[in-house]
Structure 1
Amino acid sequence: MAERRAADAVGRRGERIAAWWLRLQGWEILDRRVRSRAGEVDLVARRGTLVAFVEVKTRRSAAALDTAIDARRLARVAAAAEVLMPRYAAPGDDIRVDVILLAPGVRPRHIENAWID
């Protein structure tokens, strides 16, 4: 149970850092940890007419980032984004799924449009 709480704390801290990073890049954070029947999205962000559903992964080392995200996880985020789109996107908005990878000592890695269906 303590390990789970520690992992949750690391995840929440990573989401705060990712939100900060996105704001520095001109994004507005619309929501955090949004749940739907299809899954959860860590961050929902907007920049102009673009709405991004963002998966955040935090790892202990930069090397571990290479395996932090896979097609199954991206598919889950994409499915959740599809359900949540009407809540956050206006007609004519562009939608995408992004990933932000975080590890100590390295700059956040923002993978834009990570899910291409």
Structure 2
Amino acid sequence: MSTTLDLGSLGERIAVAFLTDAGLRVLDRNWRCREGELDIVAREGDALVFCEVKARRGVGYGLPVQAVTIAKQRRLRVLAQRWLAAHDEHAPDLRFDVVGVLVRACGPAVVTHLRAAFQ
């Protein structure tokens, strides 16, 4: 793994596999607009789920899920509004999840899925 972009891409692939194995249906990946990017948009039952993925190689700076700051949460809410305005997708429930992927040198990655991580 040579770059941060490679790590992020690997983390997102692992997160998508984890979420689909858990029964979520991925609707969109890496959706971009002027304000930024949504990593994963998925549906789980009646919920539309906006997932932020954070991948790290170690915990020296904390767990991957701890990297979603208040400012990032604000930006994700705006991005979710933009996504909803651009798509004909409706759901009675909206949810923001965070998926942390700890990529280890040896062994499988450790995935942490925080459902409804923030409002």
Give the TM-score normalised by structure 2.
0.82
Is the strand fraction higher in 1 or 2? 2
Residues 1:27 and 1:61: Cα distance change in structure 2 (over 3 Å): same
Q: How many positions carry a matched residue from both structures?
A: 111
* Counterpart secondary structure, 2:117: coil
* Cα distance in 2 between the residues matched to 1:53 and 1:7: 22
Note if contact 1:98-1:115 (Cα within 8 Å) is conserved in structure 2.
yes
User: For residue 94 of structure 1, what is the amino acid of its counterpart?
Assistant: D
Q: Which residue does 2:101 correspond to in 1?
A: 102
- 1:114 pairs, out of 98, 105, 117, with 117
* Cα distance in 1 between the residues matched to 2:54 and 2:82: 22
Aligned sequence identity (%)? 32
* Cα distance in 2 between the residues matched to 1:80 and 1:29: 17
Residues 1:82 and 1:17: Cα distance change in structure 2 (over 3 Å): same
Deviating 4+ runs (over 4 angstroms):
none
1:10 matched to 2:7 = yes
Unaligned runs of 5+ residues in structure 1 are none
Note if contact 1:37-1:80 (Cα within 8 Å) is conserved in structure 2.
no
| 1:1-117 equivalent positions in 2, closer than 5 A | 6-62=3-59, 64-65=62-63, 67-86=66-85, 87=87, 89-90=89-90, 92-105=91-104, 107-116=110-119
Is the helix fraction higher in 1 or 2? 1
Residues 1:19 and 1:84: Cα distance change in structure 2 (over 3 Å): same
- How large is the RMSD of aligned CA atoms in angstroms? 1.9
User: For residue 96 of structure 1, what is the amino acid of its counterpart?
Assistant: R
Give, in angstroms, the shift of residue 49 of structure 1.
1.6
* Counterpart secondary structure, 1:108: strand
Give, in angstroms, the shift of residue 99 of structure 1.
0.6
